[in-house]
Structure 1
Amino acid sequence: MQERIEWHSLPASLRDAIAEHSGPISEAHTVSQGANSALAAVLATPGGRVFVKGIRVDHPGVVGQQREATINPHVQPLAPALLWRLDDIEGWDVLAFEHVEGRHPDYAPDSPDLPAVIAAIDTLAALPIPDLPLKDARRRWAEYLDDHDAELLGGDTLLHTDYNPDNILITTEGRPRMIDWAWPTRGAAWIDPCCLALRLIAAGHTAPQAENWASRTRAWAGAPRPALDVFARANVDMWDDIAANDPQPWKQRMADAARQWADALLVPISR
């Protein structure tokens, strides 16, 4: 997690470089959500509000931001459009996006926001896979699987994989938008519904409730049960490692959610 830097604390030369692209900035509001960007702010410009996020080029997380810039043209209009980029200006990499007025969804049981999240997954799954060097799901989880089981994760669907509610926006018109594309991945279509199911369990759903929501996506129909078992076990090991290395409460909740789902998959789940 990076410490957030206020707009006025940025080097003046960087603020000037941003203003050269955006026009004069009359107001800047730092955004509290998100953990991967040192700079995250909404700027008031002559052309309207713009969201900017930035990271120093010597930080390992800049690779994820570069992936986000590369994938952006291929995930329209689900993602806010990338307007411009400053690549290694004063030691910073900065992305500017169209500003989307909206709120993050509530993942609690019986939340009215969940159908919009399901719609976002269906929209993404229907997009063509871009000809880019994407992460491959078989390799992303390979550390926790043998070669045979890893092959079950293969596919040709574009995946987001991080369904933290901070990565979804529901616009004032009720339309879902997806942000923070640091890990665009090629893999089996059912992986994204599974990633959502884990987040729902962490938010208070039982494993059957979470899987019921996941099953409403079109991708779920093609999910072989043995592949779900394999993916669930891999996520137990992955989230246990993550929580052990950095025991923040939300990571511990995700590790517990992964165990709940894997245990539930040992017996048939009635819907």
Structure 2
Amino acid sequence: MHQRTDWHDLPESLREAIAARTGAVLAARTVSEGMNSALSAILDTTNGTVFVKGIRTGHPGIVTQAREAMINPHVQPVAPVLLWHIADTTGWDVLGFEHIEGHHPDYAPGSPDLPAVLAAIDALGNLPCPDLPIKDATRWRSYLDGADTEPLSGETLLHTDYNPSNLLIGDGRMARIVDWAWPTRGAAWIDPCCLLVWLIASGHTPEQAEAQVSQTRAWATAPPAGLDLFARANVRLWDEIAGNNPQDWTRRMATAARAWADARLVPLSR
């Protein structure tokens, strides 16, 4: 997780470079949600409001900035529009996006936000997967002890990180998906599964969570063996994340992943 840097603590040269693209900055609000950016702020400018996120150029996480810039033209209108990109000129790599006024969804059972999130997954699933060097679903191979990952393969563009801080619900009927650090090519049903674990961590039973994501079109394409395979991978993935970064939310996710695998009677020793 990055330590946040406020607008007025940025180098003057960077603030000037941003203002050259946005107009004079009248006010700046640091955004606390999210973990992958040192700079995360909403800027009110003479030309309107923009959202900016950035990482210092020496940080290994800078690769995620390039991924977001690369994929953004291909994920409209599901994601906010990237307006500009400042790279390698000020010691920072900064992306400027259209500002979306909205709230992060509540994933609790009965939440009125859930239909908008499911609609966003359906909308993303309808977009063509671009011919770009993005991740492949075989990236979960290391958590599967050499098992055949063919069930995970596919030609659907996936987001894969349904942390509620990565979605915004405004006035429309569909959530907007942000933070495209891990765009992935794979089976269409993987994104509903990624959401499913978050739903369990937010209070759904595994059966309730599956019932929710079954409302997406992609869920109907999921082979039971593929679901079992992905459930096993998620247990190991979230155990690893919680072990390396032991926080309440990572432990909840690890517990949720295991609850889903247990409900599916997935043998975890294989």
Q: In which range does the TM-score fall when normalised by the shorter chain?
A: over 0.9
Give the secondary-structure state (helix, strand or coil) at the position aligned to 2:50: strand
Give the secondary-structure state (helix, strand or coil) at the position aligned to 1:51: strand
Counterpart in 2 of 1:179?
178
Percent identity between the two aligned chains? 66
8 Å Cα contact 2:104/2:165 also seen in 1: yes
Residue 239 in structure 1 maps to residue 241 in structure 2: no
Q: 147-156 or 161-170, which moves further after superposition?
A: 147-156
Measure how far apart 1:47 and its partner are: 1.6
Instruction: Write the deviation string for residues 164-197 of structure 1: whole angstroms up to 9, x where unpaired.
Output: 0001100134431010000000000000000000
Residues 101-120 of structure 1 aligned to structure 2 (within 5 Å): 101-120=101-120
Q: Distance in 2 between matches of 1:158 and 1:173?
A: 22
Q: Distance in 1 between matches of 2:220 and 2:120?
A: 17
Residues 49-88 of structure 1 aligned to structure 2 (within 5 Å): 49-88=49-88
Measure how far apart 1:149 and its partner are: 2.5
Q: Distance in 1 between matches of 2:122 and 2:173?
A: 16
8 Å Cα contact 1:105/1:113 also seen in 2: yes
- What TM-score comes out, normalization by structure 1 length? 0.96
Instruction: Write the deviation string for residues 55-95 of structure 1: whole angstroms up to 9, x where unpaired.
Output: 01111111111101100000001100000010112110000
Counterpart in 2 of 1:92?
92
Measure how far apart 1:21 and its partner are: 1.0
Counterpart in 1 of 2:38?
38
8 Å Cα contact 2:157/2:185 also seen in 1: yes
8 Å Cα contact 1:153/1:187 also seen in 2: yes
Q: What is the identity, as a one-letter code, of the residue corresponding to 2:239?
A: D
Measure how far apart 1:148 and its partner are: 4.3
Measure how far apart 1:5 and its partner are: 0.6
Q: What is the identity, as a one-letter code, of the residue corresponding to 1:137?
A: A
Measure how far apart 1:51 and its partner are: 0.5
Change (3 A) 1:148 1:237: closer
Alignment gaps of 5+ in structure 1: none
Instruction: Write the deviation string for residues 108-165 of structure 1: whole angstroms up to 9, x where unpaired.
Output: 0000110110000000001001010110001x10101244431211000000000000
Counterpart in 1 of 2:122?
122
Q: Distance in 2 between matches of 1:47 and 1:164?
A: 31
Q: Distance in 2 between matches of 1:8 and 1:117?
A: 35
Q: Distance in 2 between matches of 1:198 and 1:177?
A: 19
Give the secondary-structure state (helix, strand or coil) at the position aligned to 1:197: helix
Counterpart in 1 of 2:169?
170
Counterpart in 2 of 1:251?
250
Q: What is the identity, as a one-letter code, of the residue corresponding to 1:27?
A: A
Counterpart in 2 of 1:134?
134
Q: Distance in 1 between matches of 2:158 and 2:182?
A: 8
Q: Distance in 2 between matches of 1:206 and 1:100?
A: 32
Give the secondary-structure state (helix, strand or coil) at the position aligned to 1:79: coil
Q: Distance in 1 between matches of 2:214 and 2:263?
A: 15
Counterpart in 1 of 2:29?
29
Instruction: Write the deviation string for residues 21-72 of structure 1: whole angstroms up to 9, x where unpaired.
Output: 1111111111111111100111111221010101011111111111011000
Q: Distance in 1 between matches of 2:59 and 2:207?
A: 40
8 Å Cα contact 1:149/1:230 also seen in 2: no
Give the secondary-structure state (helix, strand or coil) at the position aligned to 1:236: helix
Query: What is the RMSD of the two structures over their aligned residues, measured on CA atoms?
Result: 1.0
